[in-house]
Structure 1
Amino acid sequence: MPQPAPLPLLFLDVDGPLIPFGPRPGPFPVYPVDGAHGTGGNPLLARIDPRHGARLAALPCEPVWATTWGQDANTWICPLLGLPPLPVLDEPEPSATDEQDARAGRHWKTRALVARAAGRPFAWVDDEITAADRTWVAGHHRAPALLHRVDPGIGLTDGDWTALDRWLRDPR
């Protein structure tokens, strides 16, 4: 009996998508933080909508943190979202390609997440995705990929979750 295809990967950034920041009209919404989980003294964690956890868990994907928070996302953010620890996309060691990518306007994550996906379909949710990232992924990743840019002043919205769910159910 053939094995079912693995679920698509979902690479998720924290600052911008989950923690809104930057210019916006009016104050940022804040949510109560369960005393058992706390914020470790980081007031920005109160901006994380705890409903994002259930929405992320309902997606047909394998979520992976793609953030400079690294393992700290598991320590501080997963408990706020009611999620178990997630795999983390590690920042690559500095290399000669870093300067080349920076000059071309590509994010440091672009090569790393294509390598991590290893030919699997993936969605990338970030506030710093550029046309250069889209072009590079299209030329270096044969499987379907969705590069979903989020407005950092607003963070993930109902429309973003709907678009992600739709694409992850039928990656093309």
Structure 2
Amino acid sequence: MSRPLLFLDIDGPLNPYAAQAERRPEGYTTIRVPLGYRRPLQVWLNPEHGPALLRLGYELVWATSWMEEANVWIAPVVGLPTDLPYVDFGSGLFAERPDGVHWKTEAIVAYAEGRPFAWVDDEQSPADTLYVRARHPGPALLHHVDPRLGLRAGDFAALREFARAAPV
């Protein structure tokens, strides 16, 4: 029996990048990541998120523009394994679609191959929900996370409930 998939975005759910500038949220630590920008990218991460995510009963998959870099920079800080699979967005990375569907959605649905999944992100829209309903035969939860707050207790509760209800 397989567990449902949990597609994890970083910026927004794990890194509340839209929180008040220069004011790290309580419980978070700051890392600086040299990803080719002029200056290192500041990222706020909560070390309690990894263990909490692992307790939810999902198979975790990165669904982020960080792709394989998530295992290098993010996983060790939040307490996740450093060999998690990731959705390879390839040439679709940041590609705008005329139908308003997010650039991640098609690749996530393809990766899931019909398996139940939850996707936490701060950028989904009703167009994504419609796309998933039309093209994904299994249960799916598109869970929006406020990028000013990151993952909170209510988000974990919603994910836990979906995992319990998802057929395996």
TM class, shorter-length = 0.7 to 0.9
Q: Which amino acid aligns with 1:138?
A: R
The one of 149, 152, 155 aligned to 2:147 = 152
Please state if 1:130 is matched with 2:125: yes
Q: 3-state DSSP class of the match of 2:66?
A: coil
Q: Identity across aligned pairs (percent)?
A: 47
**Residue in structure 2 matched with residue 118 of structure 1 by the alignment:** 113
Q: 3-state DSSP class of the match of 1:105?
A: coil
Q: 1:43 to 1:112 in 2, by over 3 A?
A: closer
Contact 2:12 2:147 in 1 (8 A): yes
Q: Residues of 2 paired with 1:138 and 1:44: CA distance?
A: 36
Q: Point out the structure with the larger helix share.
A: 1
**Residue in structure 1 matched with residue 37 of structure 2 by the alignment:** none
Q: 1:58 to 1:138 in 2, by over 3 A?
A: same
Q: Point out the structure with the larger strand share.
A: 2
What is the RMSD computed on CA atoms of the aligned residues? 2.3
**Residue in structure 2 matched with residue 79 of structure 1 by the alignment:** 76
The one of 45, 48, 51 aligned to 1:48 = 45
Question: Which one has the largest radius of gyration?
Answer: 1
State the TM-score, normalized to the length of structure 1.
Answer: 0.84
Q: For residues 16-72 of structure 1, what are the alpha-carbon distances to aligned partners after superposition, in whole Å with 9 as ceiling and x for unaligned?
A: 000002265993316346xxxx64454633x21110011011011100000001111
The one of 10, 23, 26 aligned to 1:27 = 23
Contact 2:19 2:149 in 1 (8 A): no
Alignment of 1:34-113 (within 5 A): 39-40=32-33, 42=40, 44-45=42-43, 47-85=44-82, 86-94=84-92, 102-113=97-108
Contact 2:67 2:88 in 1 (8 A): yes
Contact 1:8 1:120 in 2 (8 A): yes
Provide structure 2 residue ranges, at least 5 long, that are not aligned to the other structure: 35-39
The one of 132, 138, 146 aligned to 1:143 = 138
Provide structure 1 residue ranges, at least 5 long, that are not aligned to the other structure: none
Q: How many residues align?
A: 159
The one of 10, 13, 17 aligned to 2:9 = 13
